[in-house]
Amino acid sequence: MTAALRTQGLSRSFGALKAVREVSFTLEPGARHALIGPNGAGKTTFVNLLTGALPPSSGAVYLGADEITGLAQHERVKRGMTRTFQITTLFPGLTVLESVVLAIFERKGIAASLQTRVANRTAEIHEAIHIIRELRLERDAGSVTRSLPYGKQRLVEIAVALATRPRILLLDEPAAGIPAAESGEVFGVIAALPREVSVLFIEHDMDLVFRFAERITVLAQGSILAEGTPQEIGADPRVREVYLGDEAARG
Amino acid sequence: MSVAFSLPDARWRAAEIAFWIATGLVFFVFPSHLVLASQVLITGLFAVSLDLVLGYAGIVSLGHAAMFGTGAYVAGILARNGWGEPLSGLFAAGLAAAAVAFVTSFLALRGEDLTRLMVTLGISLLLYEAANQAGVWTGGVDGLSDMQVRDLFGVFPFDIRGRTAYLYTLAVVFLVFCAARRVVHSPFGLSLRGIRESPRRMAAIGSPVQRRLVVVYTLAGAMAGIAGALLAQTTQFVGLEVLGFSRSADLLIMLVLGGAGWLYGGLVGAALFLVAQSLLSRLNPVYWEFWLGLLIVLVVLLARGGINGALTRVSARLGLARRQA
Amino acid sequence: MLSALPGVLFDGVAYGSLLFLISIGLSVTLGLMNFINLAHGAFAMVGGYACVVATLRYGLPFGVALVVAFAVAAIAGGVLERVLYRRLYGRSPLDQVLFTIGLTFMSIAAATWVFGSGQQPVRLPDTLLGQTRILGVDVGIYRLFLIAIVFALASGLALLVTRTRFGARIRASVDDARTAAGLGIDVERVFSVTFTLGSGLAGLGGALGIDVLGLDPTFPLKYMVYFLLVVVVGGAGTIVGTLCAAMVLGIFDVAGKYYVPWAGAFVIYALMVALLLLFPRGLLRRIR
Amino acid sequence: ADPIKIGLIAEFSGPFAAYGRQIGTGMKAWLKEHGDTVAGRKIEIIERDTTGPSPEVAKRLAQDLITTDKVDFLAGFGLSPNALAVAAVATQGKTPMVIMNAATSIITTKSPYIVRLSMTLPQVTEPMALWAAKNKIKKVYSIVSDFAPGIDAESAFQKAFTAHGGEIVGSVRVPLKNPDFAPYVQRAKDAKPEAVFIFIPAGEQSVGFVKAFAERGLRQAGIQVIGPGDVTDDDVLEAMGEPTLGMITTHHYSFAHDSPQNEAFRKAYASVSGAKQRPNFMAVGGYDGMAAIAAVVTKLGGKMDAEKAMEIFKTYKTESPRGPIEIDPQTRDIVQSVYVRKVEKKGGQYLNVEFDRFPHVKDPVKEATKEAAK
Amino acid sequence: MADLLEVQGVVAGYGESVVLEDVSFTLREGGSLALLGRNGVGKTTLLLTLMGMTRLHKGTLAWRGEPLAAVPPHHRARLGFGWVPQERGVFPSLTVDEHLEAIARPGEWTAARVYQLFPRLVERRGHFGNQLSGGEQQMLAIARALMVNPTLLLLDEPTEGLAPVVIDELVVTIRKMLASGRMAAILVEQHARLALQLTEETLVLDRGRVVHRSPSRSLLEDPGTLDRLLGVA
Ligand SMILES: Nc1ncnc2c1ncn2[C@@H]1O[C@H](COP(=O)(O)OP(=O)(O)OP(=O)(O)O)[C@@H](O)[C@H]1O
Ligand SMILES: Nc1ncnc2c1ncn2[C@@H]1O[C@H](COP(=O)(O)OP(=O)(O)OP(=O)(O)O)[C@@H](O)[C@H]1O
Ligand SMILES: [Mg+2]
Ligand SMILES: [Mg+2]
C-alpha cells in the first residue's frame, strides 16, 4: 500500500540556519500521527514545506504516488491536503459561517462562480452549520471572527480546515489556547474523522499526544530524532532528555 | 433557522430602490444640472469598479485611470474614425480596457500594498506618456476633439442640456452596477472578501488567489473602460487627463469618502466630492480647495469608514434607541 | 559620448541626492511610523516658504534659513501631530490617505492665499553658485553641497534607527502599539518625536530643493509621485534603502535623459515598475 | 437693463492657477479703467474654475453657463484642451467665445463662434527664427517640452530657421513633468551651438531650466538663449532673477512695453491686483478680450445678437497695451506685432526690454494652409 | 500597609460592550493568583483591564493604595507591571536582542540572565520577531516581560506552544521568584493543575463574573469541584 504522504530528503534553510534537514518521512493512510520536538526544531517549517507555503531548498514531497514538490499551495488543497496554522490565520472580517461556507465553496469548485448567490446555496450552508455545531461554535456562527476570544478562534481554524474535507489533515498545535477540558473534545472530533483521513498533528501537550497519537515522530534540530509508537517514544531516553524532560517536575 | 445562521441575502432593499428612483428623479428635479449629474454617475461607476478591486478584494490601486483612459480613447478614436454608434463603442471600449487590465494585472498584483500602489501608478503614468507621444491618434495634450458620436439608437441626439446623455448614462450605469452587485453577492464575491481578509488562509483552503485577482481586476477594468467611454461620448472630447494621476487619486478619495467595500460608496463618494467641488468652486474659484480639504478632513475625523461608516453608526444608534424604547 | 560619463554619473548622484532630500521626511513618517502621510509635501513646502521668508524678508544667511526651515516645519508637524495626526494612528491606511490628502488640499489653498500662486525666488549665497572642477569633471557647487548633506543626514538617521534604543522603540511602537505601551514604551511620545523629526526633515528637504525644483503652492501635489516613488522603491522602514533608491533612480534618470532623451519621460516610471517587480519589498527591506 | 454676462472659464486652482488669475485680473483691469457699464448695460463676469487641464469640467461649465446662467459671451481659456472641448458647445449654444490665452493654432477652426485675442505659438515663434538667422546665429540647439505646443514651437522654429540658412545641431524634447534640466542642458552645451532655442511652459519648468542654464555655465561658454517669450514670462522673471540676463525672446507683449496704453494698463492692473504681481501676456489677453467684447457690445447698442457680434469681432482693430492689434476676418485669429526682447536689469527690476519688432504677424500655420489651398 | 493590587467592583469591556461584570480581588506583595475559566469568559480582558487597555465602566483599581485608573499603560509598566500578552505580541521588525534592549529596566533580570533561562533564544538573538518559531516567540514574550523587572507579572497563557522541558524550566524559575517575595504574579492558564500548583490563590471566572475563589491548594485537592467549574457546560 502506498503512503498517503511521503517526503524524501526534504530540507529547508533560512540563510545559514538549516531549519529542516534531510527529512524522509512517511504518513500512512488513516494515520493518527503526532509530530513533536523542541521549540524551533522545524516542525512548522516542515508542515509549510508539505503544504507548499514554503519552497524546499532540496528534497521531494509525494502525495500518494505523485510527486507534488513544485505544486502550488491551492493545488495541493484541491488534492486533499489541508492545514491549520499555529499562529491563528483566519478571515478576521468574515463571520464564522461565511468563513466555513467559503471553504466549502472552494472545495466544491464553485467559489469562482458568478451564477448563483451565496445566500441561496442552502446545501453548502447546511453543511457548514453541521461542522460549526460539531465544534460547538453555533452561538458564534454569526459573529465576526475578529471579535471572538482566542480559544474560539482556534476552533474556527479547525472548522475551516474540516470544511475542505481533507484526505490529509495537517494540524499545527490545534489545541493551543483551548482549555485542557475541551481540547480533549476537539481531538475527539478529529479522531472521529473517517479512517480515510490521515492526520498529522503537532502538539506540545503530552497528554493529548499520548492519548490520540498512534505513531509519533520526534524532530530535533531539523532532523528526525526518533520515530515509533507512543510507548517506544515515551521510553526513549534521548527524547526524554531533549524534549519531555522530567515528568515529576510537572507532577 | 436562528439569526446566527443567516447570511446577508441579495434581495434589493427599500433604501436601494429609493436610491435608484432618486437618481431617476434627478432628471426632472434638476433639469439644468444634468451634465454634472451625468459626470457624477460616470465617476461613480468608475469608483464602483475600483471598489470591486479595493473594497472587496483588498487591492489598492493608484492607477485605475489606465483602464478608464483606455476606454475613453477607444471610444473617442472609434467615433473620430466614423464608428460613432455609441452602444457598440461602449462595448469595444469595455473590451479594450479589460484587455489592458488583464495584461497589466500580472504586474500590478504582485507585492504588498505600497508596491501595488506604485506599480499601478507607474503603469498608468507610462500609458499617459504613451498617449502623449501618440499624438497622431490621441491628439496629445490638445486632446481628441473631432469625435462624431451618432444619435442614440439613431433617434436621440446628444443635446446641449445633456438630457440624452443623462438618461443614457443612467441606464448604462444602472446595468453595470447590477452586474457588479451580482458579482458581490456571488460565491466569487465572497471569495474576494476572503482574499482581502487573508490571502494566506485563502491559499490554505485551496483558492487560486492570483487567478481570482486577475479575474476581478479584468472585470473591474472593463467597468472602468465603460465609464471612460461614457465620459468620452457624452463630452465628445478626450483629453490626456483621462489617464492622469489626479484622476486615479481623486477616485481613491471619492471611494474612501463614500466608504469602500459597500458598492454604493463609490456612487455616494463621487456625488459628494463632485457636488461639493462644483458648489465650493462657484463660491470661490480660487480657494475652494481649502474648503474641500476641510470637508475631507472632517469626514475622516468624524466618520470612520467614510459615509458608509457614519450611516452604519447612525442606523445602529437608531436601532438601539428603538430597542430601548 | 562616453567621455561624458563621469559628469553624467555625478549629475545622477546629485539628482538622486535631491530626490532623497525631498523624500527623507516621508521615509521617516511612512517608512518608520507606517503612517501614510501624503501631506509630506506640505511640510516640505512649509520649509521652503520658511526659507524664502527668512532669506528675503529677514535677510538671514542661507545656512541659518535652513535651520529655520527645519524648525518651522518641525513645529508645524509637532503641533499637527498633537491635535490631529494622533487620532489617525490606529486607523486604516485608506483613512490616513484621505485625511492627509485633505490636509494637502488645505495647505495648497492656504499657501496660495498667503504667498500667491507664483514662483518664489531663492537666492543662494555666492559660495554655492557656479561650477568647480574635480578630477576633470565640471561639477555644480550646489550639487556638491547637496550630496554632502545627504550623506551626512542618511548616515546619521540610519544610525539612529538601527543602532539606538530609540530606533528600536520606534519600530516596536509601529509593529504593535498596544504591546509596546504595555512594556513601558511611551508610544505617544515616541510617535510625537518621530513625527516632529520627519516633518522637520521634510522642511529641510523642501528648503534645499527649491533652488532646483522651484516653489509654488502646488508643490505638495506636484512632487507627490516622486516622494512616494523613492520611499517605496527603497523599501519602507530603511533609511539606507531610501538612499539607494534615490541614487539608482537619480543616476538612471539622468543617464536616460542624457543618452536616450527621446525616452526621457518613460525611464523613471519604467525603472520604478521594473525595480518594484524585481524587489517587491523594496531594494533594502527588512525581511518581514 | 439686464447686465451683459460673461462666463469666464479659466484655471483658478491647481498648477495653472496663475493663468486664471492673470486673465481674470486683466479683464478686471479693463473694467477698472473704463467703467463696468457699456452701452447702458452693466458687465457681469461669472468666474468658473476648470481646476486645471480638465476638458470635461470646462465643457460642463460652458454648458452650465449657457443654459443656466444664460451668458452672452464665453471667455478665458488658459489651456488649449479646455478651449477645444468647449468649442462644440459654443457652436451648439450659439455663443461667442473669446480666447484669451490658449495658443494652439487650430482652436479657431473648431467653431465659427470663436475669436482669439491672445496669440498662437507659431506666430510668436517664427519671428525668433527670422531674427536669429538675420543676426548671424548659424547653429542652434533646440529644447522643447514634449507635448503638442512644444512640438508646434519646435517645428515652427526649425522650418523657418533652416529655410533662412540656419543649422539645427541637435534637438531634444523634455518630458512635461521634469524636475531636473541639467542633463538636457549639458547635452546642449556638449553640442557647442551658438544659441539654444527653448520652449517650455511658463512657471516652474522655466525656473528649472534657467537654474540649470546658469549652473552649467552656458553664458560663459558664449551660448545665447533664444525662444518665444514663455521662458522669460514676466510673472516669474523676478523669481528667476540674475541668470536670465541677456536672454533673447520674441513675444507679443512685454510688461516693459513703452506706450501710454501700457502705462494705463499697468496702473489699472496694479490697482486691481494690489501690486502683488506683474501682468504678463495672459493678463493682456484678458484685458484685450474684455476690450473687444466691450467694443462689440457698444456697436450692437447693447442688444445682443451672436451672429452680428461675430461679424463685428472680425473687423475689430485697436491699439492695445501690447501695440496695434486686429482680427483677421478670415480666421478670426489675431494679427499683431511681435517684438524681439532682451532681459535687462533696470531700476532694480528684471525686464524684457523690446529692441526690434516684426509688424503685422499672422498665424503662420493658417497662412500655410491658405497657401496650400490656393 | 496597603495591598499591592486592589480591584474593586470592576465593570469593563470594549467600547460599549461590557465583558467583565463586577470583579473584585486583592493581591498582596509577592502573592500569586491563578485565573481560570473557559474560553471567552474574560480572563484576557481582566489582564488587559489591569494594564489599562480596556474601557473601565465602573469600579476602582489601586496599586499600593494609589488609584490606577488614570495611569496610562506605559506608566503601569514603569510602576512594575510585566505583561506577557496572550497573542505574544512579538515585534516583527525587532531582533531578539532589540526586543530585550528596547524595554529593559534596571534590576536583577538582565539580557544575560534571560538568555540563561531560554538558551534557545541565544542562538536566535539576531533573528527578527517573525523569523522565530511559535515557541521561540512565546519564550521571547516572557523574556521581554522579565526584562522590565516587574513587581507584578501578568502571564496570559505563557506555556502555550512551549515544549515540556522548557515549561519545566519556566515553572522552576517562576516558583523561585515567587518564593523570594520580590515579585507577585497573576497567571492565566489552560492547564489548570499547573496553575494551581504554582499559585497561592485561584479565581474562576464565568461570563465576566468571579464564580469561585479559594486557595489553590484546596481546589487541587478537590478535582470534582474543579471539573464542575471548568467542565464543559
Ligand atoms: N522566516 C524565517 N527566517 C529565518 N528563520 C526562520 C524563519 N522561520 C522559522 N525560522 C527558524 O527556523 C527554526 C524552525 O522553526 P519552526 O517554526 O519550524 O519550529 P517549530 O518546530 O515549529 O517550533 P515550535 O514548537 O516552537 O513552534 C526556528 O529556529 C526558527 O527560528
Ligand atoms: N477586541 C474586542 N472587541 C470586542 N469584544 C471582544 C474583544 N476581545 C474580546 N472580546 C470579547 O470579550 C469576551 C471575553 O474575551 P477574553 O479574550 O477576555 O476571553 P478569555 O477568557 O481570555 O478567553 P480565551 O481562553 O479564549 O483566551 C469574549 O466574549 C470576546 O468575544
Ligand atoms: Mg511551530
Ligand atoms: Mg484569553
**Domain residues of chain B, as ranges?**
14-266
Flag residues of chain D having pLDDT under 70: 275
Residue E160, in any domain of the structure: yes
Radius of gyration of chain B (CA): 20
Express each pLDDT in B38-84 by its tens digit: 999 999 999 999 999 999 999 999 999 999 999 999 999 999 998 88
Q: Please report residues of A whose CB lies closer than 8 A to that of B190.
A: 98, 101-102, 105, 111, 118
Q: Is residue A193 within 8 Å of residue A224, measured between CB atoms?
A: no
- Chain A closest CA to E133's CA: distance in Å? 5
What is the Cα gyration radius of chain D? Answer: 20
Backbone angles phi, psi at E150, to 5 degrees: -75, 155
- Sheet with E17-27: strands ordered across: E17-27, E5-14, E55-63, E66-67
pLDDT at B144 over 90: no
Distance of CA D146 to the CA centre of its chain: 19
Structural domain boundaries, residue C86: 2-120+136-278
Contact call for D54 and B160, based on CB within 8 A: no
Please identify among residues 266-285 of chain B the ones whose CB lies closer than 8 Å to any CB of chain D: 277, 281-282, 285
- Burial of C102-111, coded b for 16+ CB within 10 Å and e otherwise, reads bbbbbbbbbb
Shortest Cα distance from C111 to chain E (angstroms)? Answer: 38
Q: Does any ligand 2 atom lie closer than 6 A to the CB of residue E23?
A: no
Domain CATH for C173: 1.10.3470
List of residues 6+ apart from B143 with CB closer than 8 A = B237, B238, B239, B240, D55, D80, D81, D84, D85
Give the 3-state secondary structure of A22-44: EEEEEECCCCEEEEECCCCCCHH
- Report the distance separating Cα E233 and Cα E222, nearest Å: 19
Radius of gyration of chain E (CA): 17
In a domain, E170, yes or no: yes
Q: Count the neighbouring beta carbons within 10 Å of the beta carbon of residue D235.
A: 23
Q: Is pLDDT above 60 for B325?
A: no
ipTM over 0.85: yes
- Residue B124 corresponds to which amino acid? S
Query: Is the separation of the CB atoms in C9 and C174 below 8 Å?
Result: no
> C264 or D24: which carries more pLDDT confidence?
D24
Categorize the per-residue pLDDT at C39 as very low, low, confident or very high, splitting at 50, 70 and 90: very high
Q: How many domains, in total, are found in chain C? A: 1
Identify which of C182, C186, C288 has the shortest CB distance to residue E92. Answer: C288
HEC secondary structure over A77-140: HHCCEEECCCCCCCCCCCEHHHHHHHHHHHHHCCCCCCCCCHHHCHHHHHHHHHHHHHCCCHHH
Joined together, the cell numbers standing for residue A220 give 530535533
* Residue A245 confidence class, pLDDT cut points 50, 70, 90: confident
Atom of ligand 2 at shortest range from CA of A152:
26
Q: Is residue E127 part of a domain?
A: yes
Let me know if chains A and D touch, i.e. at least 3 Cβ pairs under 8 angstroms: no
Reported pTM: 0.90
- Cβ–Cβ < 8 Å for D341, D251: yes
The DSSP bridge pattern shows strands A66-67 and A5-14 to be: unpaired
Ligand nearest to the CA of E163: 1
C88: in domain: yes
C-alpha closest to that of E152 among E63, E74, E73: E63
pLDDT reading at B1 higher than 50: no
Q: Report yes or no on E63 lying in a domain.
A: no
Q: Is the CB of E76 under 6 A from ligand 2?
A: no
Confidence class for position B323, pLDDT limits 50, 70, 90: very low
Ligand 4 centroid–CA E160 distance in Å is: 11
Residue C22 · residue C223 · CB < 8 Å: yes
Decide: A139 in ligand 2 pocket, CB within 6 A. no
pLDDT digit string, tens, across residues C158-167: 888 888 889 8
pLDDT digits over E161-188, tens only? 899 999 988 999 999 889 988 899 999 9
Indicate the DSSP class of residue B62. S
- Whether residue C88 and residue B296 make contact (CB cut-off 8 A), yes or no, is no
**Is E57 inside any structural domain?**
no
Tell me, using a 6 A CB cutoff, whether residue E40 lines ligand 2: yes
Three cell numbers written together for E113:
540572565
Neighbours of ion ligand 4 (CB under 5 A): A 150; E 44, 86
> If you average pLDDT over residues A70-92, what whole number do you get?
90
- Name the β-bridge partners of E26: E6
- In total, the C-beta contacts within 8 angstroms joining chain B to chain C are 122
What number of CA atoms fall less than 13 Å from residue A14's CA on the CB side? Answer: 18
Chain E residues with beta carbon closer than 8 angstroms to that of C176? 89, 91
Give the CATH number of the domain where residue E82 resides. Answer: 3.40.50.300
**Higher-scoring residue by pLDDT: E81, A87:** E81
For residue A184, report the distance from its CA to the centre of ligand 3, in Å. 20
CB contact under 8 A, B239 and D54: yes
Chains touching D (3+ CB pairs < 8 Å): B, C
Q: Between C140 and A203, whose confidence is greater?
A: A203
8 Å CB contact of D186 and C119: no
| CB A80 less than 6 A from any atom of ligand 1 | no
Contact D118, D150 (CB under 8 A): no
Residue C269 has pLDDT above 60, yes or no: yes
Residues with Cβ within 8 Å of A41's Cβ and at least 6 positions away in sequence, in order, are A219, A220, A221, A222, E133
Half-sphere exposure of A17 (CA within 13 A, CB side): 16
- How many structural domains are present in chain E? 1
Chain-chain contact of A113 with B187 (C-beta, under 8 angstroms): yes
Q: What pLDDT sits at residue E1? A: 56
Architecture of the domain whose range is B14-266: Orthogonal Bundle (1.10)
* Alpha helix (H) residue ranges in B113-208: 113-133, 135-138, 163-185, 187-197, 199-204
Helix (H) or strand (E) holding B88: helix B86-108
**Does C42 fall in a domain?**
yes
Domain of residue E137 covers: 31-43+73-230
Query: What letter would DSSP give residue C56?
Result: I
